Amino acid sequence: MGYFATMTSSSHEANALVKWKASLDIQSQALLPSWTNASTTSPCTWVGITCDDIVSSKSNHVSHINLANLGLRGTLHSLNFSFFPNLQIMNLENNSLYGTIPHQIGELSKLTTLNVSRNGQSGNIPTSIGNLSSLSYLHMFLNNLSGSIPSEITKLTSLIEMIIGENALINGHIPEQIGLLSSLSVLSIHDTNLTGPIPNSIGKLANLSFLNLVDNKLIGQIPQQIGKLMNLKLLWLRGNEFSGSIPQEIGMLKQAFEVDLSVNHLSGSIPASMGNMSNLKFLYLYDNKISGPIPWELGKLYYILLRECKC
């Protein structure tokens, strides 16, 4: 009975993949020649498909779909996600997939990696993405996604990397509860139309090593809580509308080696506390309204760019 059930599940997975293949354009279908005879062959032998193949259970469920860089053209609308309960990795980067990301993607409960970057995906990020409780890597950059970042994304407490930049139609605010993503190491939401301030909860991201919010429309002051990011190595806030002074607490970022606060409306003086940033090599502050002397404590910096600074 168990073996029959496994074969039936495998057949469902194969049929779902073949149906999706048929929805792609002719050239794309030709790139997947092994995806055929769904009733007689296992999808585990097909190009881009890996199965879990756990010997003890002989489950042979599809666990990886890796079709990156193949040049596939079509949508995800005909892919029935409910037939892939064991799917862990879905990598579709650098194809020509367009249309919206289906709401049903939230059914992939074991998914750890979702990469749909460098495609033509449009529409909103589905709120159902908050159901992917095992997700560690979320890459959606270089698409045509629009709307706001759903607050449900803050449920993904296993998330290590969230890279959803270069989607010029994304707008709205950074979710207020972003601090709930306590495992986050990389947060990159660059080159979109984000507005509003950086939430104070950013200070709860103790594992963050890279924060990239370049080229948005973020406003307000850089929060003092930024100083709590003790593991931060790269802080990129260039090309926004931040105002006020640079917080003294920035000097607590002793792991940071590059800080880019250029092209904003920052004023006041450069904090002397930045001299405590023992690993800092590159500091960019140009195109701001910074004034006053350059603190002698910064004398050990390898590179500092202060164009249009009244220092």
pLDDT tens for each residue of 286-301: 999 999 888 877 776 6
Round the average pLDDT of the chain to a whole number and report it. Answer: 91
Residues ≥6 apart with Cβ < 8 Å to 199: 173, 174, 175, 176, 177, 178, 179, 223
CATH at 26: 3.80.10.10
pLDDT 10s digits, 245-280: 999 999 999 999 999 999 999 999 999 999 888 898
Last residue of a domain, one of 149, 171, 193: 171
pLDDT digits (tens, 9 = 90+) for 80-90: 999 999 999 99
Q: Both 126 and 204 in a single domain?
A: no
Looking at per-residue pLDDT, the higher value among 294 and 132 belongs to 132
Are 150 and 57 members of one domain? Answer: yes
Helices (H), the chain: 2-23, 26-30
Q: Print the domain residue range for 304.
A: 172-311
The model's pTM is: 0.91
Domain identity same for 164 and 184: no
Given 171, 200, 221, the domain boundary residue is 171
- Strands 62-66 and 49-51, sheet pairing: antiparallel
* pLDDT score for 275: 86
**Arithmetic mean of pLDDT, 64-93:** 97
Looking at residue 144, its amino acid is N
